[in-house]
Amino acid sequence: MNLKTRLHILKRKLRGSKMAPAFGALHTFLFLPDETTHNGTHIKVADDLKRTMNTVILAMIPCLIFGMFNAGYQHNLAVGDIQAVTSGFFSAEFWTLDNFFIGFWKIIPLVIVSYGVGLGIEFLFAIIKKHEVEEGYLVTGMLVPLIVPVDIPLWMLAVAVIFGVVIGKEVFGGTGMNILNPALTIRAFLFFAYPTWMSGDKVWVEGAVERTREIAAGANLDAISGETILGSLAQGKEVAFSTWDMFLGFIPGSVGETSALLILLGGLFLIFTKIGSWRIMLSSAVGAIVMGLIFNQIVDAGVITESSKFYGLMSTPFWEHLIIGGFAFGTVFMATDPVTASQTNKGKWIYGFLVGFISILIRVFNPAYPEGVMLAILLMNVFAPTIDHYVVQGNVKKRMKRLKVKTA
Amino acid sequence: MALLSKKDSKLITDPLADNNPITIQVLGICSALAITAQLKASIVMAVSVMAVLAIGNVVISLLRNIIPSKIRIIVQLVVVAALVIIVDQVLKAYSYELSKTLSVFVGLIITNCIIMGRFEAFALANGPWRSFLDGIGNAAGYGLILIIVGFFRELLGSGTLLGFKVLGDPIEKTGLYAIGYENNGFMLLSPMALIVVGIIIWVQRSRNKALIED
């Protein structure tokens, strides 16, 4: 008797019991269910919700692995154990096992907490409300560790995940009903609840916070720190990284957001598999470029001078905005969330454009919230249904007019 | 209960739970969001509203037969405004610091929907004693929610209750802070008050299904 038959037998035993939804979720994760329906018309396709979710996770895996190497690299670089990379993406200084394991032991617990707590709540709600476990958390659970600083305490992450899943999703009726992207709700919660752990120059480098504490306790060590590019620009500091570093991702930042190159590859993969919407990705890049160009023009016209506190971010070349901070990651993996984004094609263009446009706007004008992408996407999530409504109404009106012309 | 008849005591107990002004009628939300970051402010606000609503209800009830119905709103406003000014002056005289925390929100008791709502719906049609009980009951229901919200917001947001450091000292790292706990800054922002009120509504309605609309 193979595993599949055994599971089917077990399922029959559990049918009707409280644990049935929980078991069903695990069971269908591995195998197709053995029930057949007898009435109605059905379309059988391979890409069900679980397959879709897994494809997105697959697209994020390179970012996760890169994030592990980068966490170790940033740590060792700040401590002074290694030299900065010199020879492009495959630099030997970067891809060392030492770097990898520092990041691995830091990031794997984040992944485990994110999935453990999040899926725990999904199962709990499924059992209480007696419905099937929904797969919505599979992608969220992978997104969450990628968009937080590497040093975030695990209990904070757990609290935020509980908040994000319950308030961001379950109160609206679960997967598919949520207004806001759950992963970003979780990040926004962390951002407003524990700002000292989500911004500043200590949290982005593994061990920097602990080092500060040791020094305060009297240890004879050098302080280590690492400001994100956006943070440095907002404070008008010199950026210590080259544009090439920013593109390849050898910079401090949240775990998975640093490498624009790998995010781009992930995005192409999503477009190729038709999971992610290329309209949103493209239009939000266009939106960001337009806003960046406007700011560049303002600086060129001499309206804003170097004495202004906005100068640093305004004078950043428009294309550089695309590769610093979480813009690339947010656009590719979170703005394209099929539940919270606009549904209509025209709506997607408008939605994406405004995401990019507002991201850069918030970035420049609100240095207290250097990560404008998160807030821009959450804001546009709220407006997405309105955009869709007007696109649909516009279409209805156009057709009504056509009808009148014909009948008249 | 010899003091209150069954009908009268219902006037007090109903607004505490099944007809709560905040969670069921969804009135007076603004002040519930604005001043509940500290428990002390919540309690003072609850007491102030109780004074204004109870006395105001009695006054309106006494005047109910001589107020021309065309200008009743204006008369009601005059009564609330007078009472609110008295409360404001008392607060300024006896606890100046607190009145600064509450700032404009004491004055804004005038616009609290619960007060005008009770004047219109109850005091204009009932005798002074019943109106008084109704005022006490509704203000208590309002205050109860304020105090619950204030309790959680102050405990989780600042780690204190009524100013006492119940969770330890965040700077000296004692108590819970010694093991890495940190205050939740989000709790001090108004959106979290809305969410806490929402959770109270959720809990209340899932315990008593009869309250769920449609």
Residue A202 and residue A287 share a domain:
no
Residue A287 and residue A189 share a domain:
no
What b/e string do you get for A299-335 counting C-beta neighbours within 10 Å, with b at 16 or more?
A: beeeebeeeeebbbbbbbebeebbbbbbbbbbbbbbb
Residue A194 and residue A61 share a domain:
yes
Q: Which pLDDT does position A116 carry in this prediction?
A: 92
Q: Would the pLDDT of A106 be above 90? A: no
Domain boundaries along the sequence of chain B: 21-205
Token readout for A346 is 């025209």
Select from A108, A58, A106 the least CA-distant residue to A333.
A58
Q: At what angle do helices A97-129 and A20-30 cross, to 10 degrees?
A: 140
Is A142 part of any domain?
yes
B180/A192 CB distance under 8 A: no
Q: How far off is chain B from A196, nearest CA to CA, in Å?
A: 10
- CB contact set of B48 (below 8 Å; sequence gap of 6+): B87, B91, B106, B109
Cβ-nearest to A192 among B182, B186, B198: B186
> Are the CB atoms for A115 and A92 separated by under 8 Å?
no
B184/A195 CB distance under 8 A: no
Q: Domain boundary residue among A216, A239, A266?
A: A216
Q: Which pLDDT does position B3 carry in this prediction?
A: 66
Q: Would the pLDDT of A255 be above 60? A: yes
Task: Identify the band that residue A392 occupies on the pLDDT scale cut at 50, 70 and 90.
Answer: very high
Most confident of the ranges A316-330, A377-391, B90-104, B170-184: A377-391
User: Does B189 lie at the interface with A, CB-CB under 8 angstroms?
Assistant: yes
Task: Identify the band that residue A380 occupies on the pLDDT scale cut at 50, 70 and 90.
Answer: very high
Cβ-nearest to B185 among A155, A171, A194: A194
CA gap A74, A277 in Å, rounded: 33
pTM for the model stands at 0.86
The structure tokens 């920013």 sit at A246
Is A222 part of any domain?
no
Residue A199 and residue A316 share a domain:
no
Q: Would the pLDDT of B1 be above 50? A: no
Residue A287 and residue A181 share a domain:
no
Task: Identify the band that residue A109 occupies on the pLDDT scale cut at 50, 70 and 90.
Answer: very high
Determine the structural domain holding residue A92 and report its residue range: 49-216
B189/A192 CB distance under 8 A: yes
List, for residues B11-41, the tens digit of each pLDDT value: 777 777 777 888 787 787 877 788 888 888 8
Answer with the residue of higher pLDDT: A135 or B88: B88
Interface ipTM: 0.83
Q: How far off is chain A from B155, nearest CA to CA, in Å?
A: 14
- CB contact set of B29 (below 8 Å; sequence gap of 6+): B22, B194, B197
Residue A291 and residue A172 share a domain:
no
Share of residues in chain A with pLDDT > 90 (%): 24
- What mean pLDDT do residues A243-249 have? 83
User: Does B187 lie at the interface with A, CB-CB under 8 angstroms?
Assistant: yes
CA gap A389, A154 in Å, rounded: 41
Residue A315 and residue A211 share a domain:
no
List, for residues B60-96, the tens digit of each pLDDT value: 999 888 888 888 889 888 988 999 899 888 888 888 8
> Are the CB atoms for B149 and B36 separated by under 8 Å?
yes
Number of domains observed in the structure of chain A: 2
The least confident of A160-174, A330-344, B2-16, B21-35 is B2-16
User: Does B203 lie at the interface with A, CB-CB under 8 angstroms?
Assistant: no
Is A264 part of any domain?
no
Is A28 part of any domain?
no
Q: Domain boundary residue among A216, A245, A262?
A: A216
Element (H, E) at A167: helix A154-168
CA gap B96, A66 in Å, rounded: 57
Residue A156 and residue A75 share a domain:
yes
Cβ-nearest to A193 among B181, B185, B202: B185
List, for residues B100-111, the tens digit of each pLDDT value: 877 777 877 887
Q: Which pLDDT does position A33 carry in this prediction?
A: 67
Q: Would the pLDDT of A342 be above 80? A: yes
| Angular region, B2: left φ>0, alpha ψ -120 to 50, beta rest | alpha
Q: Which pLDDT does position A209 carry in this prediction?
A: 74
Q: Which pLDDT does position A117 carry in this prediction?
A: 93
Cα A185 to Cα A102, A144, A147, A178, B181: the distances in Å are 28, 10, 11, 11, 21
CA gap A343, A350 in Å, rounded: 11
Residue A184 and residue A80 share a domain:
yes
SS3 (DSSP) at B168: coil
